[in-house]
């Protein structure tokens, strides 16, 4: 599932969040990762700390489980992270797992929230700047959602598509705010309306609906995932066809079944 070949060789235990025995706090992990990810030694297009949490929200709310070994390379744009040492590699991977676990726990909550370091600000227009923390979260979410788009296309029921698109608009708005502002300005000129006022109202509506969009999106992914698990569990196992003892053995040896694999089975 979505396997990536990155040339990295981390130890296997670091590639599975469930096997992690080191559990740094999410706050400490984010602080360390913020410095590590922002270093000029990282590959181009490496996610920053806010983009990472948006990306992970997309990962933990996907309609299928995404393995740690699949999503970690995407954080570094499928390039070598440039670890200075094995110790640094271990610390970074444990920190990534800690932030993933925090994102997964938050997505299970009744009301998921943006992390404090990239939450919505009091100035709604300030959040629309490309380097604003909330906008960076939205950019990371877009990267994650587009990476996993095929899963949603495979699993999203038609009757949920309209609500899903509404929530996507809200969660991705800040990532594309500059283009949306330009589109609003063009439409406002044609209709002789105040473009700034129209855009402000749009941003205010996004702010007001953001928490609900987070909650609905997380619940939708969880329900689809649980439904697929339940359906898989209900499937009747396929039974192998019984082979007559004197029939040729299915293994292709040319011997009778009773003298070949049938003998081993008995």
Q: What is the dihedral of CA 120, 124, 129, 132, to 10 degrees?
A: -20
For 117-136, the pLDDT digits (tens) are 999 998 999 999 999 999 99
CA neighbor of 101 nearest in space, from 147, 47, 53, 137: 53
CATH architecture observed for domain 12-223:
Up-down Bundle (1.20)
CA neighbor of 2 nearest in space, from 154, 152, 147: 147
Query: To the nearest 10°, the Cα dihedral for 14, 71, 216, 152?
Result: -140
Residues 128 and 82: beta-carbon distance below 8 Å: no
Low-confidence residues in the chain, pLDDT < 50: 1-22
DSSP string, 140-206: HHHHHHHHTHHHHHHH--GGGHHHHHHHHHHHHGGGGHHHHHHHHHHHHHHHT--HHHHHHHHHHHH
**pLDDT value at residue 6:** 34
For residue 256, what are the β-bridge partners?
A: 248
């Amino acid at each position: 599932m979505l396997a990536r070949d990155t040339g990295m060789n981390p130890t296997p235990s670091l590639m599975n969040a469930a096997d992690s025995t080191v559990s740094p706090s999410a706050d400490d992990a984010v602080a360390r990762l913020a410095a590590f990810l922002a270093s000029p030694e990282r590959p181009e297009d490496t996610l920053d700390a806010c983009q990472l949490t948006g990306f992970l929200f997309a990962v933990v709310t996907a309609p299928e489980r995404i393995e740690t070994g699949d999503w970690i390379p995407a954080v570094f744009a499928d390039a070598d992270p440039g670890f200075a040492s094995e110790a640094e590699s271990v610390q970074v991977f444990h920190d990534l797992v800690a932030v993933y676990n925090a994102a997964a726990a938050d997505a299970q909550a009744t009301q998921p929230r943006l992390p404090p370091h990239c939450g919505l600000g009091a100035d709604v227009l300030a959040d629309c700047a490309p380097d604003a923390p909330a906008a960076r979260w939205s950019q990371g979410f877009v990267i994650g959602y587009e990476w996993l788009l095929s899963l949603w296309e495979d699993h999203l029921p038609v009757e949920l598509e309209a609500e899903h698109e509404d929530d996507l608009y809200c969660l991705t708005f800040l990532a594309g705010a500059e283009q949306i502002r330009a589109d609003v300005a063009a439409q406002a000129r044609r209709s002789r309306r105040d473009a700034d006022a129209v855009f402000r109202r749009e941003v205010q509506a996004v702010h007001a609906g953001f928490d609900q969009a987070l909650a609905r999106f997380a619940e939708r992914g969880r329900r689809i995932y649980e439904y697929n698990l339940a359906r898989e569990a209900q499937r009747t196992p396929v039974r192998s066809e019984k082979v007559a003892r004197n029939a040729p053995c299915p293994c292709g040896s040319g011997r009778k079944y009773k003298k070949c694999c049938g003998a081993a089975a008995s």
